[in-house]
Homo-oligomer: A and B are copies of this chain.
Amino acid sequence: MNENRLKDKKLQGKKIMALSGGVGGAKLALGLSKVLPAEQLTIVANTADDFEHLGVHISPDLDTVMYTLAGLNNTELGWGLAGESWAFMAALERLGGETWFRLGDQDMATHIQRSKLLKEGCSLSAVTAELCKGLGIEHSIIPMSDDPVRTFVKTAEGELAFQHYFVREQCRPEVSGFRFEGIEQAQPSPQFLSLLKDPELAAVVICPSNPFVSVEPILALAGVKELLEARAVPVVAVSPIVKGLAIKGPAAKMMAELALPSTALAVAQYYNKTLDGFVIDSQDAQMAQQIAELGVKVEVVNTVMKTLQDRVELADAVLDFVATLTHIPNNVLGEG
């Protein structure tokens, strides 16, 4: 089935790069992994919301994508591992430790092992490959960078480290902007950079993740936007905003606070220069014309992913869309 679908899409043998944040992005990444073989899909995860906590290095977006592709994600909580237990947290609480960031017993193994390997001198890329191997994941999941980038959220209550804003303060403070500490020095990870330059790269899919804190740090890394423009492979984003609401997370709230309309159109405007195609939900069909006027091709489908079937169908639709984008030279998309 995969092979036929890929043939249909003229993408056979070509590579797709997906850019993802956490939960929302991971849903589409999972869908893509179901329709693309391992050698054709690379998922680049945001690491700007990584942080050091309780002495371990936590990479929330990498973990969410890994757990999701491994089929181990906790669907009840919406984050973390399925069948998670909390004995560590309870014991830490007894000791008066910090418990605002919930770390499950199994999840701790990921952080401890990652931190150990990083301390031994492994790059975050190498560590991630090792963890993916342990979790039986065949597709490539890579960090956007092996260098530290840390998002700080400018709020009415002062600047907050991302997880302090996101988890500890539960996104309550009013947002006025963002700062990506280390972004000037950070290099794209070697695999990310090499894929950006790979003649086999056929498209970049921006998953429905938060544009400001999940996708922007990836695009803001040295040379990334330039390479995307120079390559002329289509960049297609899926709107994380549907009917004015974020499917997951604080994107819509942030947009309101940043004095942006919380609409798919505003997301398209935000991505504008980077974007060739934009996938919006059927419920936002009336915006298609306005978005098209930005010079961006628009695809209108169901983007709300409740079931695995939804994820696969959206992945399918996105790849169909990619294959139809007219400015892509045939020699890039192959002969089919």
Query: Which A residues between 105 and 135 are near B, CB-CB below 8 angstroms?
Result: 105-110, 112-113, 115-116, 119, 130-131, 133-135
- The answer to whether B133 and A110 touch across the interface, beta carbons within 8 angstroms, is no
- The answer to whether A92 and B105 touch across the interface, beta carbons within 8 angstroms, is no
* A135 contact set on B, CB distance < 8 A: 94-95
- The answer to whether A109 and B94 touch across the interface, beta carbons within 8 angstroms, is yes
Interface of A, helix, strand, loop or mixed by DSSP: helix
A148 CB to nearest B CB, Å:
17
Interface size on A, residues (CB 8 A): 33
* A130 contact set on B, CB distance < 8 A: 95-96
Q: A134 and B96 in contact (CB under 8 A), knowing A54-B116, A56-B55, A116-B55?
A: yes
- The answer to whether A95 and B55 touch across the interface, beta carbons within 8 angstroms, is no
CB nearest neighbor in B for A53: B116
Mask for A86-97, Cβ within 8 A of B = 1, else 0? 011111101111
A265 CB to nearest B CB, Å:
43
Mask for A72-107, Cβ within 8 A of B = 1, else 0? 000000000100110111111011110000001111
A248–B56 CA distance with the chains assembled, in angstroms: 35
* A105 contact set on B, CB distance < 8 A: 85, 87-88, 91, 105, 108
A333–B84 CA distance with the chains assembled, in angstroms: 56
A259–B109 CA distance with the chains assembled, in angstroms: 43
A94–B106 CA distance with the chains assembled, in angstroms: 10
Q: A108 and B108 in contact (CB under 8 A), knowing A95-B113, A116-B55, A134-B95?
A: yes
4 residue pairs, one from A and one from B, having the closest CB atoms: A91-B109, A87-B105, A95-B134, A91-B106
Q: List 5 A-B contacts (CB under 8 A).
A: A56-B112, A81-B91, A87-B104, A87-B106, A88-B109
